[in-house]
Amino acid sequence: MQAYVYKSQRKQDTFVYLAKRDDFDAIPASLGATLAPYAFVLEVALTPERRLAQADAALVRANLAEHGFHLQLPPLPLAPVKVPRIDGRDD
């Protein structure tokens, strides 16, 4: 399965995968209004062996087959780690 990946120009680190190139009609209008305009990033073959850095390829394939698009949001920020002070105080 081929996928066409676009980066949102409005939302940082947000990507849309489309089953058909430039088929922005597959994206619900309310969602598209918050993400558009888009910049084409790459075309990728989503085979069962394919691994993606920020998304589950099987989920992307399923969403493309069912909805015609997949939305990849930025990763959630990590919780801050509290490092104990050397002197034992709790400042």
Domain, as residue range, for 27: 1-10+18-37+54-75
Of the pLDDT bands very low, low, confident and very high (cuts 50, 70, 90), residue 2 is very high
**pTM of the complete model:** 0.80
* DSSP single-letter state for residue 55: S
Locate 6 and state its tokens. 């676009």
Q: Helices marked H in the chain — which ranges?
A: 29-35, 57-67
pLDDT of residue 91: 58
- Per-residue pLDDT reduced to its tens digit, 3-31: 999 999 999 999 999 999 999 999 999 99
pLDDT of residue 81: 76
pLDDT of residue 39: 97
Residue 23 lies in a domain: yes
pLDDT of residue 14: 95
Distances in Å between the alpha carbon of 74 and those of 15, 18, 30, 55, 86?
8, 17, 19, 10, 35
Phi, psi of 90 (to 5 degrees): -110, 30
Q: How many domains does the chain have?
A: 1
Residue 90 lies in a domain: no
pLDDT of residue 88: 66
Residue 45 lies in a domain: no
